[in-house]
Amino acid sequence: MKFFKSNLILIGAACAMTFCIAACKKTTNVPLNEPLVYTATPAPIVHGGWRKMGDFFNHNCYVSFYFTVGDYSYFGVGSAGFSDYTVPVLPTSFWKYDASTNTFYPLKNPTYGAGWGLGTFSIGNKGYSLIDNKLWEYDPTTDNWMQKATFPKKDTIYLPATFTIGSKAYICGFSYGTSGILDHIDDTLYEYDQTKDLWTQKSYYPGYTLNNRNAFSINNNGYILGGSEYGTNTNSFYKYNTDSNIWHGLSVYPSKSNGAVGIAYSCNNMGYVYFLNGELMQYDPVNDKWSRINDFPGLNPDLIICFGIGQKAYLGFGFTGGVSYHRTKSNVTNELWEYNP
């Protein structure tokens, strides 16, 4: 993702994909290799604010992972019919979103098997999903997946913070364990070099030992913030310089949400953080300063996603009901919103 970076991604369970909501409609101009496409009529454009793009996917399904390559974003969609305190494990449909037409197009399903929550990122014209400790590369030109270099940790990893700079991706701050028991946290920063298909261990993150962190990048620096452990949040904020392999502490963000970060991304050399209470904060890296801007007008769900296309950000989906592990089909939200800086 050239302009936006985000994390907080899961892998979903099996689901029969249907769309049956009034805001979306089936189009008649369908390419032969795309048997079904869906679109919605968005609200009028708002400069310097939010507009709703529509409701997508039904309440049995949710967006389980995503990344952006060029002018399109790609989504794995899975089932929300799982019980409390469990994590879904396999998406059954894969979609391309064209923001210029506000349309979702179906693609071939991912070829890898079931696994636990992952980190996703994009480098150049390829997208990547890290599931368990296996890295998979997606090529949009062929609509195919290829397995790449195995992640250095042998255990299952879950919810890492990820950011990309140039031809390299960075992963840090994740839970790990075996057989679905994720009872350890790793503060090591790992670098993936796309040109060499190689993982390298870098310096340790100096902040609190927490999971559920968020990350974004600006120029040659990566930024990691937030995190939680057993419901306790932190507003710690650090910058990583890829040239020196050194971390630097920065100004903590002044959100009233006490560190409950929903998602983070960057655009136009600024960082943006959405909090689970609906606040949207902007970070100026030149002055190391935070400012509150337009609050998110949607349902403020947990596990919200964010992706960027061009100069615009898109937020939505997730689960309503606050920060909780009670995530079932009854509290899935299907809203998608656009923010125009």
Which of the residue ranges 47-56, 90-99, 171-180 has the most confident prediction, judged by mean pLDDT? 47-56
Distance separating alpha carbons of residues 183 and 335, to the nearest angstrom: 33
- The pLDDT of residue 176: 63
Residue range 308-313: mean pLDDT, rounded: 87
Do residues 161 and 172 touch, judged by C-beta distance below 8 A? yes
3-state helix, strand, coil in the chain (%, to 5): 0, 50, 50
- The pLDDT of residue 260: 61
Starting at the earlier edge strand, list the strands of the sheet with 156-158: 156-158, 174-178, 181-186
Residue range 162-174: mean pLDDT, rounded: 90
- The pLDDT of residue 287: 95
Residue 118 corresponds to which tokens in the numbers above? 């992952």
- The pLDDT of residue 334: 83
- The pLDDT of residue 109: 82
- Within 13 A of 48's CA, how many CA atoms are on the CB side? 1
- Checking if the pLDDT of 243 tops 90, the result is yes
Residues 6+ positions from 5 with CB-CB distance below 8 Å? 121, 162, 163, 164, 215, 216, 217, 264, 265, 266
Q: Are strands 144-147 and 161-165 parallel, antiparallel or unpaired?
A: unpaired
- Checking if the pLDDT of 113 tops 80, the result is no
Residues 6+ positions from 307 with CB-CB distance below 8 Å? 1, 4, 6, 66, 67, 68, 73, 265, 313, 314
**How would residue 70 be classed by pLDDT, with cut points 50, 70 and 90?**
very high
Distance separating alpha carbons of residues 3 and 312, to the nearest angstrom: 9
- Checking if the pLDDT of 242 tops 80, the result is yes
Range of weakest confidence among 88-92, 93-97, 260-264: 88-92
- Checking if the pLDDT of 30 tops 50, the result is no
As a whole number of angstroms, the longest Cα–Cα distance in the chain is 54
Residue range 204-209: mean pLDDT, rounded: 78
Residue range 285-311: mean pLDDT, rounded: 84
3 state DSSP class of 273: strand
Query: Using one digit for the tens of pLDDT, what is the confidence trace for 131-166?
Result: 878 899 999 999 999 999 998 877 666 678 899 999
Residues 6+ positions from 29 with CB-CB distance below 8 Å? none
- Checking if the pLDDT of 13 tops 50, the result is no
How would you label 54-78 residue by residue, b for 16+ Cβ within 10 Å and e otherwise?
bbbbbbebbbbbbbbbeebbbbbbb
- The residue ranking higher by pLDDT, 86 or 70, is 70
How would you label 292-325 residue by residue, b for 16+ Cβ within 10 Å and e otherwise?
eeeebebbbbbbbbbbbbeebbbbbbbbbeeeee
**How would residue 9 be classed by pLDDT, with cut points 50, 70 and 90?**
very low
- The pLDDT of residue 55: 87
Residue range 263-267: mean pLDDT, rounded: 85
- The residue ranking higher by pLDDT, 319 or 221, is 221
Residue range 100-111: mean pLDDT, rounded: 88
- Checking if the pLDDT of 178 tops 80, the result is no
